[in-house]
Structure 1
């Protein structure tokens, strides 16, 4: 149950820092999304449906006492900013038309009434009247099928849609909704909040059954296994890892961010997962994290397989507080150094030639690095003669700046003998 309440004429509810952080990421990602989508100046129209599944009243009071926008206004402001940036950066013969329909869902009529008056007050009355912004009362799972069909009807070929599912808690987004989204809409993306601390702190036989029934996430752990696991000092690490693997394996998304996110001034740990069917979308999200590093800390490792031994929590094996992975310049340097060590070992284990595209796609879900960062590391290894990069003719490539998807990677023969 949400702890927020909106009533017109009364001050908007207070917002915790972690929600401001989530909204900052949403804004930044949407702007990056549009700039990536409209890469060619001749494109003049993009049709997209955005579903805000837990929209709230659209306005909050920050911890510093200032009014801050909620997700509906964040989304609408991002569309305006992206349109301006596109027209500024690209020489266009006619303006870009970002044909976006925003569907806002909330279970509270009072909240939606507040949001409607707020939107009209912020000059979105015409968009409401035209149906470009729709306000829908109810639970997200009750309207999921209808919103999927609406998005499909507006974009039959690409099925382009973004579902912003900033649930309060961890049990309001059933797996069948996610599977239906990805089965029906080829270019759909989901930004899902999952309050992992609230779940694992109180997980027992009773609420485990309720969680599985509500979400449809199965096969993680039994109650007996959880009780046994809690005897270990690392039980939170293993439980988080198990739940994460269950969620990502059952939601039907091919690509996802593996980030376990915690704001620097957070309100408990949560996942902010980005799920999609295309690597490019995942790469844009990863790039957004790097471009806006001041918003987040991530408790994971650099390089590949950052969660290979389970999530690294705030407390390490020696009960010491960890600094976290913060997407800073230092973290970028550590990431490249780690990949420089890992990649030759991985190519040795593969034991056969592999294309850059295949190599990257096999590992994309296990690393905070972007495609560009992996590409840069591979080129550096090539310059160090630790690996070979071959062209389509089988000869060694002279690539120094960019790799083509079909460039072949091979461990240098002398390095292989050392292994």
Structure 2
């Protein structure tokens, strides 16, 4: 059950700062989503279904005593702002029609009653009456199939939908729902929170069995393996890595950003998983994380292969806090320097070279870097003559600012050292 309670006429429930940050990231991501999607002024309509699987009452009180919007209002405000930016930034002869249907699901009747009153109070009554905003009571897992079908009916060819699944805890989104989303909808995305610290801290045989039964995620760890692992000072590293690999491998998404929301005052880390079938969506989300650098992290390495040894948990083998990778300006510099060191060695085995597209696509899920950051590292190495960038004609390219997808990357013939 939710730990929030809403009653019209009473103050809305309090919200922690990290939840505000999640909502800010959601808002910014949705705006960038639309700006990226509507790249041509000739486009005049986009059909999209957004499913808010744990919507709540839509309003909170933050730690400063101010009212702040919950996810339904955040989503609706982002749609309005995106439409305005598209119209003003592009040379358009007619307005863009962002044909978005919002499905809000929550188990709490009082939360949905409050949300309905709130939306009517914020001038969304007509959208409610027209079915552009739908309020559905129940568990997300029970209504997932109907939401997928609705998104499919509205976008039969593209299958365009975003599922915002800010669950309470870690066991309310079955992996079967995730698989059905990606199997049915070709352009679906999922933004999923997962309270990893709560699961890790209290994981035992009984909790593991309950987690597997609720989510359908199998093969993370057996009870015996957990017992053996806890004898190691780095057991959290291995356990988090195993759970992450199990979740991402079983959800059927091709691309993902497994970064952490980093709460203040030790409330515990949340995964904020973005799952999608298209690299560009993943890249937009990674870019958004960099824009919110003070509140997001991953406890792995800079550059590529960030999780090659599993997650580096907040507590290391000596029980000391680690700062982690924090998406700061310093982290950006470290990422750039690390990629400059790693790339030549990674091209060593590719005797015929790799296209920029091939190189980036095989590494996209292993790095906090965006496509632009990877491109900048490659261009810097090319400028230093440590790698070569070739055009389709096999001749060295003069590219200095941008790489094309079919540019070929390889080591100079005389520079093939044994790394």
Q: State the secondary structure of the residue aligned to 2:178.
A: helix
Distance 1:351 1:223, change over 3 A: farther
In the TM superposition, what is the alpha-carbon distance from 1:418 to its structure 2 partner?
5.7
1:168 aligns with 2:168: yes
Could you tell me the TM-score, scaled by structure 1's length? 0.98
Counterpart in the other structure of 1:159: 159
In the TM superposition, what is the alpha-carbon distance from 1:351 to its structure 2 partner?
4.2
Counterpart in the other structure of 1:130: 130
Q: Is the 8 A contact 1:21 1:263 kept in 2?
A: no
- Superposed, 1:318-397 pairs within 5 Å as 318-397=318-397
CA distance in 2: counterparts of 1:86 and 1:402, whole angstroms: 25
CA distance in 2: counterparts of 1:395 and 1:351, whole angstroms: 16
Counterpart in the other structure of 1:212: 212
How many equivalent residue pairs? 419
Counterpart in the other structure of 2:101: 101
Counterpart in the other structure of 2:302: 302
Could you tell me the TM-score, scaled by structure 2's length? 0.98
In the TM superposition, what is the alpha-carbon distance from 1:116 to its structure 2 partner?
0.1
Q: State the secondary structure of the residue aligned to 1:158.
A: coil
CA distance in 1: counterparts of 2:356 and 2:264, whole angstroms: 35
Q: Which moved more, 1:189-198 or 1:307-316?
A: 307-316
1:313 aligns with 2:298: no
Q: Is the 8 A contact 2:259 2:297 kept in 1?
A: no
Q: State the secondary structure of the residue aligned to 2:43.
A: coil
Q: Is the 8 A contact 2:13 2:60 kept in 1?
A: yes
CA distance in 1: counterparts of 2:284 and 2:128, whole angstroms: 30
Q: Which moved more, 1:173-182 or 1:321-330?
A: 321-330
Counterpart in the other structure of 1:247: 247
In the TM superposition, what is the alpha-carbon distance from 1:265 to its structure 2 partner?
5.3
CA distance in 2: counterparts of 1:314 and 1:403, whole angstroms: 37
Q: Is the 8 A contact 1:259 1:300 kept in 2?
A: no
Counterpart in the other structure of 1:401: 401
In the TM superposition, what is the alpha-carbon distance from 1:231 to its structure 2 partner?
1.2
CA distance in 1: counterparts of 2:392 and 2:296, whole angstroms: 41
Q: Is the 8 A contact 1:391 1:407 kept in 2?
A: yes
Q: Is the 8 A contact 1:23 1:74 kept in 2?
A: yes
- Superposed, 1:11-30 pairs within 5 Å as 11-30=11-30
Counterpart in the other structure of 1:177: 177
Distance 1:368 1:154, change over 3 A: same
Q: Is the 8 A contact 2:18 2:261 kept in 1?
A: no
Q: State the secondary structure of the residue aligned to 1:190.
A: strand
Deviations 1:179-208 (A, max 9, x none): 010011000000000000110111111111
1:66 aligns with 2:66: yes
Q: Is the 8 A contact 2:49 2:160 kept in 1?
A: yes
Which 5+ residue runs of structure 2 have no aligned equivalent? none
Q: Is the 8 A contact 1:301 1:325 kept in 2?
A: yes
In the TM superposition, what is the alpha-carbon distance from 1:266 to its structure 2 partner?
5.8
CA distance in 2: counterparts of 1:327 and 1:199, whole angstroms: 25
In the TM superposition, what is the alpha-carbon distance from 1:261 to its structure 2 partner?
3.4
